[in-house]
């Protein structure tokens, strides 16, 4: 698949984009995914049912949807931290997590401001594409996991069926950017999304990236006809 030019480059520009679209972020997620984003996040959190303890990190937490889903599943006491590089996202997230045992902190995946080996699970939903260095971000997520800890990554992909992929790509590359631009008021944000998905490694390629970052027992499965892929892996030591 040929590369698509990404209209935004560099961590600062991407950070500024997320700050700008933050007020409309949750609404657009629901609208543009036809509500499936909630189901995808639930399925991601389901992957932690076998994790014995209760310390979790949500990287690129956005407005904290994954962190809230985790908190709804975990009996107290538990420790859930959500981290994001967008201050505007964190401000909105803090309103949503008020009264919950969730802490939101600023930070980037490439330099997680937390100690080694302190989490039983680490997750990122639709975040790896936005890391300035995906491999470094995965290594950092590996670093903060305890031995036998689990990583879960949820990312966009493309359907394998040719006709379905054509219809989906038409929507993803034409209707979605136009709708996102009209509602968010940001001219590049929802053009950046399909370009970043097209350029991001998928399937076995991303599985290999996880393995090279130190994870073992890496597997993946496609959701909703391949629109999204769910990856998991373990830290052995």
Domains with residue ranges and CATH for the chain: 11-234 (3.40.50.150)
Task: Output the pLDDT for position 5.
Answer: 39
Q: Which pair of structure tokens corresponds to residue 56?
A: 């979790």
Vertex 148 angle, CA 147 and 154, to 5°:
115
Give the other-Cβ count within 10 Å of 101's Cβ: 13
Q: Which pair of structure tokens corresponds to residue 41?
A: 């996040």
Q: Which pair of structure tokens corresponds to residue 19?
A: 């700050």
Can you tell me whether residue 131 is helix, strand or coil?
Answer: coil
Contact 59, 91 (CB under 8 A): no
Strands (E), 31-144: 55-59, 79-84, 102-106, 119-125
Contact 89, 25 (CB under 8 A): yes
- 174 DSSP assignment: I
Task: Output the pLDDT for position 49.
Answer: 85
Contact 92, 25 (CB under 8 A): yes
Task: Output the pLDDT for position 215.
Answer: 98
Task: Output the pLDDT for position 57.
Answer: 97
Q: How far apart are CA 170 and CA 178, in angstroms?
A: 12
Question: What does the pLDDT profile of the chain (237 residues) look like in tens digits?
Answer: 333 434 444 567 788 888 888 888 888 888 878 889 999 999 999 999 877 668 999 999 999 999 999 998 877 668 999 999 999 999 999 999 998 989 999 999 999 999 999 999 999 999 999 899 999 999 999 999 999 999 999 999 988 888 888 888 888 888 888 888 888 887 777 777 788 888 899 999 999 999 999 999 999 999 999 999 999 999 997
Task: Output the pLDDT for position 103.
Answer: 96
């Amino acid at each position: 698949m040929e590369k698509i030019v990404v209209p935004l480059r560099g961590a600062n520009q991407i950070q500024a984009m997320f700050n700008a679209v933050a007020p409309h972020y949750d609404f657009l997620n629901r609208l543009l995914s036809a509500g499936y984003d909630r189901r995808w996040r639930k399925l991601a959190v389901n992957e932690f049912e076998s994790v014995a303890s209760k310390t979790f990190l949500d990287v690129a937490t956005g407005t904290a949807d994954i962190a809230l889903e985790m908190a709804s599943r975990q009996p107290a006491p538990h420790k859930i931290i959500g981290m994001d590089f967008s201050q505007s996202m964190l401000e909105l997230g803090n309103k949503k997590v008020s009264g919950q045992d969730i802490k939101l902190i600023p930070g980037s995946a490439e330099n997680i401001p937390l100690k080694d080996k302190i989490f039983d699970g680490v997750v990122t939903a639709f975040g790896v594409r936005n890391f300035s260095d995906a491999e470094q971000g995965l290594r950092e997520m590996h670093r903060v996991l305890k031995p036998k800890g689990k990583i879960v990554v949820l990312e966009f992909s493309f359907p394998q069926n040719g006709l379905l992929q054509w219809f989906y790509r038409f929507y993803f590359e034409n209707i979605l950017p136009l709708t996102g631009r009209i509602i968010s008021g940001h001219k590049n944000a929802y053009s950046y999304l399909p370009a970043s998905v097209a350029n991001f490694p998928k399937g076995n390629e991303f599985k290999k990236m996880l393995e090279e970052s130190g994870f073992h027992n890496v597997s993946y499965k496609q959701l909703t006809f391949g629109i999204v892929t769910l990856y998991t892996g373990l830290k052995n030591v």
